[in-house]
Amino acid sequence: MARISLAVATASAVLSSPATAAVAVDLPVTATAVAVITQDPHENDAPMTHAQRMALAAASDRAAVYPADLSVPYVAGGKVVATATATASSDALRVGREPYNVPTTEPDLGSDDGSIVSPPVEKEPVEPNPVEDSGATASSVQATTAISPNFTTVKYSAAQLEAVRDEVLTLTDLPGAASLVSAYVDASNNRVLVETSAVSTELRQALAARYGSDRVALYHQPDLVRPETQERGWDESPFAGGSEIKSDTCTKGFGWVHQGKSYILTAGHCTSMNAVISSNAGSVGKVTADNWNNSKGSVKWNGQSYYSGDLAIIKMEAGKASTTLIYRGGPNSNSYGTVTDKWGPSGPGDRHCVGGRITGEMCGFKVVASNVTVKYNDGTTLKAANKSLRNGKCTSRGDSGGPVYTIRSDGSIAAKGIHSGSGRSGSCREYFTDTYLAEKALPGVLRVKAPK
């Protein structure tokens, strides 16, 4: 992965340490001040099953259609909880209560067990212009069943919560605004959690005055710092994920296919639209889609109504191709894993690995929040990201754009995301864009090799 201290795209974000430290204590919500918490309410969430993940995605899509009536859904007690406001329309309530069609079988989407070895793979020439269906889906799950959500009424709609999430980090006149790092919807508590390195009465009161005291809570971590956007050596066609690209010394993510042409998926902050990307062997290809503004951060790609993280696709020039392989092992490893499946979508409790050209393969990450907005230390803002934690070593500058994935029991790879940035606050914090969102937002699909 490359580093993402964005100016013209560096690929991996690292948070800077706060100037002063303070003791974090829980403080209750009052009529004039928001609450303060010191423990992540979802730290011990269990991983979702594939059925729960797909049901939650369906519930989220419904909330997007009726954002003023429905609110952000979540999983609790093994079921999706769909939510609506007390004033929701009859149409929104009907849609919100409809059953979901979900898989009856749990596919092997892998784990974060880096000790599972991939079978030996030789890099062979591949078809530069593959059939797009080859990457369209990997899941062999066919049978589905209908399940109904639990349903509850909440105070704030999806639109009201997401407006806070998307605005709060932009408010430079808030007391202590420089201490705010990220914001995301805590759906089970119908509020937005704002992560901060410092808390004051003035900040608590200002947030309450703007949003209402129960629509926001501060998650206080005194050692919190803003992340930054972030070796394997050079690689030659057909290109494998996890190796270096020269745009800003970032990392390739996964092979990609669109209209019978070969592409590579990476981080948008590593590139610029229409830029020619190179490797040791010369030019690789040209950027044809990029949802990152190098001075602002995430932007809505091509007129879409939603943000889609930090992504770009590079179209291979004539005679060059991407492949279904990614590098595994250390930064100097020449071992590969084959991408045979993909996650979709990510959620709290999910475990995964990250592969970057500087750090190599790092496993043991756990997703703790989705749809996160985070402010990087260069002033850019990442939107619609997943946040993961792990103890020990962190990813490095240069790892940006690299693959986020799990390892199946047979050693093959299930694609999960694209690394954007990282930082440390006690544990390592990883921010990535879901490949499920990449396939939704960008033209084309992941390049996946169907298992035999």
Bridge partner list, 277:
285
Task: Name residues whose C-beta falls within 8 Å of residue 115's C-beta, 6 or more positions apart in sequence.
Answer: none
The token pair at 291 is 């949802």
The pair of structure tokens assigned to 144 is 């589905």
pTM score of the predicted model: 0.86
Sketch out the chain's domains with CATH numbers.
Answer: 132-141+228-446 (2.40.10.10)
Amino acid at the residue 87: T
Alpha carbons 251 and 267: distance in angstroms, whole number: 8
Over the chain (452 residues), what is each successive 10-residue block's mean pLDDT?
34 39 83 96 84 92 96 94 97 96 86 90 71 45 83 97 96 95 96 96 98 97 84 73 75 92 94 86 88 94 93 92 91 89 88 91 93 94 95 85 94 95 84 96 92 59
Alpha-carbon span 211 to 209, nearest angstrom: 6
CB 20 within 8 A of CB 419: no
Q: What is the pLDDT of residue 87?
A: 97
What does the pLDDT read at residue 14?
A: 39
Tokens of 54: 């797909």
Query: What is each CA distance from 158 to 39, 55, 151, 376, 424, in whole angstroms?
Result: 24, 17, 15, 25, 30
Nearest to 170 by CA among 182, 161, 160: 182
Cβ atoms within 10 Å of 9's Cβ, excluding its own: 28
C-alpha closest to that of 35 among 212, 187, 210, 188 = 212
**Confidence at residue 16, expressed as pLDDT on a 0 to 100 scale:** 38
| Residue 295 CB neighbours (<10 A) | 11
